[in-house]
Chains A and B, each alone.
Chain A
Amino acid sequence: MSQNTTQSPRPGFMARYGLPISMLVEREFVRFFRQRSRVVGALAQPVIFWVLFGAGLSGSFRMAAASGGSVSFQEYFLPGAALMIVLFTSIFSSISVIQDRNEGFLQGVLAAPVPRVSLVLGKLFGGASLALVQALLFLWSAPLLQYIGLAPEMPLGFSIGQTLAMIGVLFLTGLGMAGLGFLFAWKIDSVQGFHGIMSVLLMPMWLLSGAFFPPGGSKWLSWVVAVNPLSYGLSALRHVIGRSDAAVGLPSLPVSLAVSLGFAVLCVALGVRMTRRPSAI
């Protein structure tokens, strides 16, 4: 053994950021795919939602006359269902911080010479990437569902440009949501407690993002939608993949991207600040 190896006083960028972050991301994926029930649940739930709500509500849904009213509910709901995947997967991956703490893994990370930024980014990139992969799988499976008759006619082929834009938007939204979850998870000591808080926050956030129904029913509702960070992720997604008439009345693409990015950066920054506080464990 070479215990006399002198460590360089300042390890390089890779050692301090690259390797730890990529390790935490990889770990998130390995853990996810090792738990079969998580894989099934994460993929099947949005498909079921999309098909069932799409079929059930197709009769009563009509877009405002201004947009021509030609968009079916399932087509309107497609980005919303993808967003649901991103929201749930990324936020629930933040819960694993609680598990990491209770099972002891976290103390090992905190005792290692790793900047806190790497810890936070590793966890959040892990959650966001996982969410991205699942959402993409869902979006790509939509044509299949259409083929077997579970969805009505709609244009579903995505160009390469669209796909790349989709990836960017989904990842950015996932990062913001994972960051939001992380802020709660760091403070809470049990998974049950986290579920309690997130259920009063998660579902309303999703429902009031314009994912499920177009906003604009009443004044207060449109205000709530306007301050909901998720609305902007959804609007960006509609701009990127939807038909132009489904995006009528939404914030423009640059605004949507700017707000999503701002929210993600804010959450990451707050997360890093929180983990730097000493009483971490």
Chain B
Amino acid sequence: MSVSPAILIDSVSHKYGERVALDQLSFDVRAGEIFGLLGPNGGGKTSLFKLLSTLMPVQSGQLSIVGFDVTKQADEVRQSIGVTFQSPSVDIKLTVRENIVYQGRLYGLSGTDLRKRVAAQMERFQISDRANDLVQTLSGGLKRRVEIAKSLLHNPRVLLLDEPSTGLDPGARFDLWQALQTLRAESGVTVLVTTHLMEEAEKCDRLVILDHGKLAAMGTPDELRSKIGGDCITIQAFDSARAASLSQKITSTLHITPQLFETQLRIEAPEGAELVHRLTKEFSPEIRSITLGKPTLEDVFIRATGHRFWDEGKV
């Protein structure tokens, strides 16, 4: 196996008019890993995805996929990647088989070779029994499977998935990740997936957190969590005004500065249990609920970006 990275991103910047979407972004994805791109909407995930899938021209910096430059060798890049878009690129008026066969012809496949590949992908994603059904009659999870089956038909070395679990129920989401893991194990395909779900981020080998087009953190889920260390305490107050005053009181009495998110306070502490005890003793009338836990990726996210996952735009 080659040691060179599957995806190389080197000081890439992108602007829409005055708005900066990607700001001097650099990182690389190793061959054969499942790599997560985590970030709030507007964080730059989609822009990066469009650059990687050659749908948007690179403005500055360099991107390459399996050694091919995205700008100069677009055709080679396109031949090497399989792309699963957030809004599926399946044609709902066509059957499952037609969709996959047509995709093959788009990639210059035909005859017995194409037929074999189509059958193999339908088998792999367990959609053979629906081969002759129109895609519009399929559930969201099945549609997504057709989309992925389609994108793997030409044996790409890198699979790019943009928010693949959009519109999937938990069961279908689980199946999807099983399929991705099997795929990586069997064929050594490198998988890059954008997501805003923490439970998906947990399943990645490594991930980056993007915020305002910048790389906010990078590492394995464990590495990222261990950067926080200790415990995380979350206090739910009664309303935002009282949350703010509670935050001030905690700062003045305990010399800790909690992070404040509307009605919620967040504290990182080495000895969480003891602190919870003191907090409940001193401020119990102001506390609606208090929870103590080991840091999660969401905590990592908050630490890295300074805002809560769903609060983008209100920073």
Q: Please list the residues of chain A having a beta carbon within 8 angstroms of any beta carbon in chain B.
A: 1-3, 5, 7, 9, 11-12, 14-16, 19-20, 22-23, 26-27, 30-31, 34-35, 103-114, 278-281
Contacts and interface: CB of A to CB of B under 8 A. Distances in A.
Given A19-B110, A278-B56, A3 B87 contact: no
A34 B93 contact: yes
A35 B105 contact: no
Interface string B168-191: 000000000000000000111100
B78 to A, nearest CB: 4
A111 B83 contact: yes
A114 to B, nearest CB: 6
B56 A104 contact: no
Contacts of B107: 15, 112-113
A113 B107 CA distance: 7
Given A3-B155, A12-B108, 18 more contacts: A1-B187, A2-B155, A3-B157, A5-B155, A19-B109, A19-B110, A23-B105, A23-B106, A30-B93, A107-B55, A108-B106, A111-B53, A111-B83, A113-B75, A113-B79, A278-B57, A279-B56, A281-B56
24 contacts: A1-B155, A1-B187, A5-B155, A11-B108, A12-B108, A14-B110, A19-B110, A22-B105, A27-B91, A27-B98, A30-B94, A31-B91, A107-B55, A107-B83, A108-B85, A108-B89, A108-B103, A110-B55, A112-B103, A112-B106, A113-B75, A114-B106, A278-B56, A280-B55
Interface in B71-102: 75-76, 78-79, 81, 83, 85, 87-94, 98, 102
Nearest to A122: B106
B128 interface: no
Interface in B97-123: 98, 102-103, 105-110, 120
B47 to A, nearest CB: 12
A104 to B, nearest CB: 4
What are the nearest 10 A-B pairs in CB distance? A15-B108, A108-B89, A113-B78, A23-B105, A278-B57, A104-B87, A19-B105, A104-B89, A112-B106, A3-B155
Contacts of B92: 103
Contacts of B57: 278
B54 interface: yes
Given A112-B78, A281-B55, A105 B89 contact: yes
A280 B56 CA distance: 8
B106 A27 contact: no
A106 B89 CA distance: 7
Contact of A111 (B55, B108, B186): B55
Contacts of A3: 155, 157, 187-189
A15 B109 CA distance: 7
Given A11-B108, A35-B93, A113-B107, A23 B102 contact: yes
- Give the interface size class of chain B: 35 or more
Contact of A1 (B78, B93, B150, B186): B186
Interface in B138-180: 150, 155, 157
B108 A19 contact: yes
A16 B108 CA distance: 6
A227 to B, nearest CB: 37
B122 to A, nearest CB: 14
A279 B47 CA distance: 12
Nearest to A4: B155
Nearest to A112: B106
Contacts of A12: 108
Contacts of A22: 105
Given A19-B106, A27-B91, A104-B85, A7 B55 contact: no
Nearest to A16: B108
A5 B105 CA distance: 17
Contacts of B78: 111-113
Nearest to A2: B155
Contacts of B90: 104-105
A281 B102 CA distance: 21
A195 B189 CA distance: 45
A105 B94 CA distance: 11
Contacts of A105: 89-91
